Every structure is written in structure tokens, then in C-alpha cells.
Amino acid sequence: MCDTNGFWRLFTIFLVALCAFSVVNARFFLNLYPRIKLDARSPKDAGEPLFITPYLKTGAISLAQNLSRVSITDTIGFRSHAGFFTIDEIYNANLYFWYFPPFSKKEEAPIIIWLQGGPGGSSLFGLFQELGPLIAKKEGFALRKYHWALNYHLIFIDNPVGTGFSFTDNENAYCTNETCVAEGLYSTLTQFYQLFPNLKQNELYLAGESYAGKYLPSFGLKIHQENAKSKEKVNLKGIAMGNAYCDPINQLDYGHYLYQLGLIDENESKLFLKYQADIANQIKQGNWEQADVLMDRLMDGDMTNFSYFKYYTGFDYYYNYLQAAAADDMSVFVNLLQNDKVRRGVHVGGLPFNDGLKVQLSLILDLLQSVAPAISELLSHYRIMFYNGQLDIVVAYPLTENFLRNLKFSSAMEYKNAKRMIWKVGDDIAGYVKRAGNLTEVLVRNAGHMVPRDQPNTVLSLITLVNSIFFPIYPRLKLPAKSCKEAGTPVFVTPYLKQGLIGAAQNVTRVLLLDVPEVASHAGFFTVDQKYNSNLYFWYFHPFTRNKTAPVLLWLQGGPGSSSLFGLFVELGPLMALGNKFVLRKYHWALHYHVLFIDSPVGTGFSFTQNTKGYCTNQDCVAKALYGALRQFFQLFPHLAHNDFYITGESYAGKYIPSLGLMIHKENAKTNCKINLKGMALGNAYSDPINQLDYGNFLYQHGLLDNYQRKVFLKTQNEIYAAIKNEAWTQANILMDRLMDGEVTHFALFKFYTGFNYYYNFLQSTLSDEKTPFMKLLHKNDVRRSIHVGGRSFHDGETVQLMLSLDMMQSVAPAISELLSHYRMLFYNGQLDIIVAYPLTINFINNLNFSASDEYFRATRIIWKVGNNIAGYIKTGGNLTEALVRNAGHMVPKDQPRWALDLIQKFINNDYN
């Protein structure tokens, strides 16, 4: 029989050897802590390293304390100590440490030991980049505002041997397992207490991040075991682990997580799930070499310079999903470490600084092994906190929670049933905390893998602690009527058109804003129902290229009941409000296109009716009014009647756009005066509620719900689903309100569990005040005269929303299916949105019945770049194109204006290459 285990072992050894051989020429993929390697320097210039162990052996404690003082911090005005502890005399293995007493001067303060991950990452990275009192700058060292030495004794250790300044003279001293790592750390700790005997009784906490999720439990268990045998016990109280990689077999589910982030599509997710199953199988069999190779191919690419993660996402970095590449500039850090004065001051002398590669290679068979049994034992005796940055990929929050839910410890059932609490720092929602027995689990909002760097004040607080149907996305804006004498009279275009006075209508609708006289635009009202005096307000901008044949784009805002002037001033129009004047936006859609904004439906913004029967209660009514407005627009500008025409918009306009598109399609079949409809672009479109419901899994994957809360969501979602199936629209609305919105019942599970008042960008928990500048301008009399609204009221859309209440949970999927047989459609989603999250849109698309559905399913998703930046991902099948826009919320053109413009140009040109 073929020895497959032998084959895999040889294959892995070959890959590791190849990796080591090519390190100089190959760029290693996805290193959390930069691979910094500094050669030895002359002792004549840099001094000699300070070895503490010989002084301890001779009892020269005071001398060792004095010699280890760091002159650099003495100069700045505070004390610190650094040097080397010898942990293996046979192989001359030494661990480097740097200790900072508390700035509070409290000698009895707890001690915190910080260990970096990697494996092979220097703890000096944590010191200078994350939580230490010093920041490395070009001009030297500066103090960090929020650092852990403010109130604690803080020790940084380069661990294990071969990391940073820690070194050995013999290859046999490199650790190949966690037992070895723990022994070296324990030896260092006992020598530290010899050096500072006054600290022996202080409480001790172990802390660190990433691969230190292996070191810390192993070190903690070593202390626990030694305490049982020794009279002089280490006063260990707890362990704090950030984005800890502890239990690989239960921290594997990248497929579902990346899909929920929009970084991979459903087909790519299936491949991830297959690889994950293979990796889990190899781990279960103890085939560490095979598991390493598969994991490398899935996520890392260290061995072969290929990974599916990089291939599908284009990312070179998986420590914050808002970043596609590492952004750390380590040149200052490197220059300081090479400075001879600094080297003398921190007692490293001329020793080289190791990049940790040998450490990683030596620990290669340890990478996918678990320390869960050690954690289980420790939880019976010590407090342990696991905290996760919400934006991390490689040790994402759902992966950590899955590992904890599978952990066997005395309070396991208590943990599974524990209530998650909203945690605030000041008035800000910092994250979420759950406790059970000695276990505390924390989600830190808006932080990646290196939480102390991304949220320094929040984490310092945490460490101290351890001792209607929609929220109004577009603000409810309302302006009262003004005197016509002051604000002028509104311009109604329809009477001019009826009399054939086209030139006069064009002249009377011309907008002249003194702040931006170069902008050519027209505005006014189209009457869409004479019986009820229902009128839609429009504002049209000529293309800045002056190209009369350029496509015409109609923009519709969502809500329902939100003014398209929000889109104009805040998202994609040529004008922005700045203080008391209008200014030009850099990236706007009128650069190349005719752009038309319409306040729709009647009762939205400046659009109005004089009879309650003029309000729409369904999409047919909305479409009919818009179609009437469009017919009049092309009468007003007949030279545009044959231009290509595109309907665009976002959010609840995901209902308006297909409905209008279908009406145009049907009317074109009956008339010679056709509208030259070419396509529709829908941003974060709410089109098919029954298939855009899965908030539970989405919020869970983003760390905003725990598993218990997810189950509550899933139960309510099933009830909503059943109500929609039964066409019980009022019941579906009430359930949806209770789940997400809270406008009707003044309670929403979403708000209760997350503390959020805003669900349009999960990096924001509340609505920012973006509307004030343009609303102030819209209330000025000279502006009202110029844009031809006169003294008309500006409506907040509440009546529109109430009138459309039975439409809320209904689907326009059939209209979309029919339109896809004739027109191109683009569905684009901001990655950070909650209410119409990317996976919800994909689920709706996957359930669409359209002619090219098989082609869409088989299509390859491509990485879309703007310049050198990864803007997102695009997939096309037949007339359907689907796009994910990175680092954008519900209002994509606002969050990523350049990328949104590029996407619209690609769509109109029908060229995504």
C-alpha cells in the first residue's frame, strides 16, 4: 500500500525548504507583523547586550536593576528596564524583555505580560504600534496617550527564542511545540521576579494577540502546574487574549464569513467549505503536514505564493477587511532599531534583530494544533477574556465564538445561555460583552486584528474593566411653506408643454445659482394628475462635457418618501452645500451624463398633491406618475428623446425602478414615441423582501449578535416569511418592525441587541448630521426662487410611507425577471450596509427566475480595481451584473464617489474589464 502520510510529510518538507531557500527573492504573503531583519552591528558602535542572569546568580540584584535601566526613557522622564534572561545555558538561548513600571507610581498595581503572535512577531511591535507608552517617530520616541503602563506594570517579551532580539547560538533551541514555548517564558518570569522581588505578590495577568492564543494558555497552564509544586507561587489572576488563534479546527469557517462580508460569492464559498472540510478531516487524523498545506492553499500562500483567499479577493492582507493591503510604514521603527544610541540605551548592543521566519518554520507542525484542553482546565481556576476586533478576517469573531461554543468547561451551558450586554465607553457603543463563570467574551467595534492599535482608548477601558419599517436613512426633513412674495412662485411646466411653448418652458425652468454660475440646470414641477393636482418636482443637469448625445440618467431616492435632493447634494450630484453656499463635487455623475433628479412619489420632498387620493399605495401608481413625468421631460427637451436612457437609484427605489422600467417597456410596445431605455442600476436595492430577510446570520457573522440572539432573529424571520407567503402584509410589517425598525412598536430586537440607532453602515451606530447644510440653503428665499419651488413646503415623506405600508413587504422580482430579458440591470451593494446587505441581495438574485440564470450561476466573479485600489468585485451573467463595492455602506456614491462613478461608466459602456 502507498504510504500517503510519508508522501505528504516529504512534500511539506520540500515546500518548507523551498520557502526558506527563496525567502530573499520571494515576497511572503500575509505577514501580520512586518518581516524585519536587521544584521548584527559592531559592539564598538552599538555597545554590548546586557545579560541579567549572571547578576541574579551572584545575588547582585540592585546592580542588575541599575544596569537594566533604559537611558532613553530616563531622558523622556520615566523609568523602564530592559535586557536578556538566559533560559537555556547549554544552547545559549536568551529572551529579550522590556519592562515599564506604572505611570501611576502604584507599586502594588497588577502586572501585565504582553506576548505578540506571528508566530515570530516581536513584542516590540506591540510596544511601539499598539499599547506601549512609546511611539517611534522620525525625531525619536514620543509618548502614547492611551497606553497600558498608565496603571499597570507592563512587560514585553520577544518570544519564543528567535523572535526579535531574542536569540540562540544553536538550532536545537528553537521551539517546535507549545511546551517548549511555555518553559522558556516560565524561566523568564521567575528571573523577572528575582530581578524585582518587590513585585512577587502582585496580581499577574497574561495578555497578547493572534498566535499568542497558543502561547498564553500554554504559559498559563505551566504556571498553574508549577504553582502546585512550588512554595513560591506566581499570583496569576487571569489571561486576556485578542483575536486569539487557539483551536484551528473550530476556527475554520472562512467560507460563510467571507460570503457574508461580500468578499466571495456563493460558488467561491462552496470551494472554501470543501477545503475547510478537508482541513478539518486532516486535523482530526493528526495529519498536520497535510492540514498545513491545505490551509496554506486556502488562506495564506506562504508555501506556494498562491491562496484562494488572495485569488478571489485580491487582498494581500487579512487583518482588517476594510484594508486590501498592509498600510504600516515600519521605516521609522527600523531606523530607530538600527540607531547605535538606541541600541545602547535598550541594552541589545550589536545583536541582530530576527524576522521570526525560523520560529515559524520550527513551529510548522504546531500551527493547526489546539490548546483548547489547556483553556478548559485554566477556566476552572482563572478568569479568561477573549476579545475580538469586529473587522478581522483571519481570527474573525464568529470563528472565536464557534470555538468557545465547542469548548468543554464547567460553565459551558451558562455561556451558551448567557445574555450579551451592550458595552459603552462614554456615549459610544464600544462593543458587546458576554460572561459565564470565568469566561468573558468581547466584540470590539470598528477594530481589526490589532485591537489596541485600532481602538486604544476602548481597549484600555476594557482591560481596566476586566479587573415605521425603516430607520430614516435619509433624515426626516421638513420645511414649512414660505410666502410667495419672499420665495417666489413655483414653476409648473405642464401648461407650457400643452401650449407647445417649449422654448419658453426651457427658459423659465433655467436655474441660475450665483455660487456656481457655470452649472447648467433646469428645475420645476410636472403635473402628473390634474384631478388631484399631483405634481412631481425635478432638477435636471446638463453634462459638463456639453455632449448632447450623452446618455440620460434618472436618479430616484428610496425611503420610501425620501427626496432625491439628498442624492443630489449628499451623494452624486454636481452640487454640495458647504456652509452658506453651493460648491462643486469632484466626482459627480453629470461629468459625463445628463442627470435628472425627481422627488418621487408624490408627497416626497417638494413634490406634492392637494388631495389625499393623490398619494400612491402601490408600485403601479408610482410608475404611472414617473412615466408621466418622463414623457413631459422629453417634451421639454425633445433633442434628448432618442438618447440612451438609464434608470438609477438606491434602497426602496429597488421597487420604483423595476416598476417604472416595466411600464416603459409596456408603453413602448404601444407607442411610436418610445423611451430609449437601455438599462437600470440599483444600489442596495430592496426589491424582494422574502428573499432579503436573513439578518440573523449576517449580523452574527459581523459580531453584532451572538448565537442565542441569532436564533431569536431566525425565529422572527421565519414568522415574517410565513406572513409574506400568506400575503398577510400588515402582520409581516409589524413583525419586520419588531425585528429591525421599531418605528411602529417603539421596540426592535436589532436595536435592543446591538444598541444601534442606524443600520446603513455597521461602522456607525447612530446617524450623522449630514443634512443640515443643504436644508439651510433650501430654506433661503434666493435659492427657492432660483430652483423654482417658490414657497412650497418640503415634505418629510411620512405620509408617503404610511400610504405605501401594504407595499413594503411585497416583491418586484417578477418585474425584474421580465426586464432582464430585454435590458441590462446592475445591482450594486455597499459592503458595510446592514439593511440591504450584500448577502441578502445575492440570495434574492439567486432566487430570480430569468433566462440567463444558469449563465449567471456559472459566471466567474472578477476583481474590480480603480487605479491600484481594489474597489470591489463584479459578476455578470446575461443582462444581469452584480457588484460589491468595498468600504461603502447603504449610500455607495456618498461613501465611495470615485468608485461609484467608475462603476456607472462601466455599466453604461457595458465593459467591466
| Catalytic annotation, residues | 651, 833, 890
Burial of residue 793 (CB within 10 Å: 0-12, 13-18, 19+) is middle
Identify the three-state secondary structure at position 452. helix
Candidates 527, 529, 549; CA nearest to 538 is 527
- β-sheet bridge partners, residue 319: none
Identify the three-state secondary structure at position 643. coil
How many beta carbons lie within 10 A of that of residue 322, not counting itself?
A: 12
Q: Are the beta carbons of 642 and 676 closer than 8 angstroms?
A: yes
DSSP 492: B
Q: How far is CA 614 from CA 509, 539, 624, in A?
A: 24, 22, 12
Cα 783 to Cα 479: distance, rounded to the nearest angstrom: 14
Cα 367 to Cα 361: distance, rounded to the nearest angstrom: 10
Residue located via cell numbers 522558556: 184
Report the b/e string of 391-408 with b at 16+ CB within 10 A. bbbbbbbbbbbbbbeebe
Q: Are the beta carbons of 438 and 383 closer than 8 angstroms?
A: yes
Cα 367 to Cα 297: distance, rounded to the nearest angstrom: 14
Q: How far is C-alpha 493 from the chain's CA centre?
A: 46
Start-to-end C-alpha separation, the chain: 50
Candidates 190, 274, 253; CA nearest to 227 is 190
Would you list the DSSP string of 193-206?
Answer: HHH-GGGTTS-EEE
Lookup: cell for 747: 421596540
- Tell me phi and psi for residue 912, to 5 degrees: -105, 10
Q: How far is CA 210 from CA 240, 242, 434, in A?
A: 11, 6, 20
User: Residue 525: which H helix or E strand, with range?
Assistant: strand 521-529
Cα 355 to Cα 125: distance, rounded to the nearest angstrom: 12
Q: Are the beta carbons of 384 and 438 closer than 8 angstroms?
A: yes
Cα 767 to Cα 470: distance, rounded to the nearest angstrom: 13
Backbone dihedral region of 247: left (phi > 0), alpha (psi from -120 to 50 degrees) or beta? beta
Cα 21 to Cα 25: distance, rounded to the nearest angstrom: 9
Cα 677 to Cα 715: distance, rounded to the nearest angstrom: 42
Query: CA torsion sign, 701 to 705 to 706 to 711?
Result: negative
From edge to edge, which strands make up the β-sheet containing 880-885?
Answer: 510-511, 521-529, 534-541, 594-598, 552-556, 645-650, 677-683, 824-830, 880-885, 869-877, 862-866
Q: Are the beta carbons of 538 and 597 closer than 8 angstroms?
A: yes
- β-sheet bridge partners, residue 429: 424
Cα 709 to Cα 418: distance, rounded to the nearest angstrom: 10
- Tell me phi and psi for residue 865, to 5 degrees: -120, 145
Identify the three-state secondary structure at position 428. strand
Q: Are the beta carbons of 158 and 175 closer than 8 angstroms?
A: no
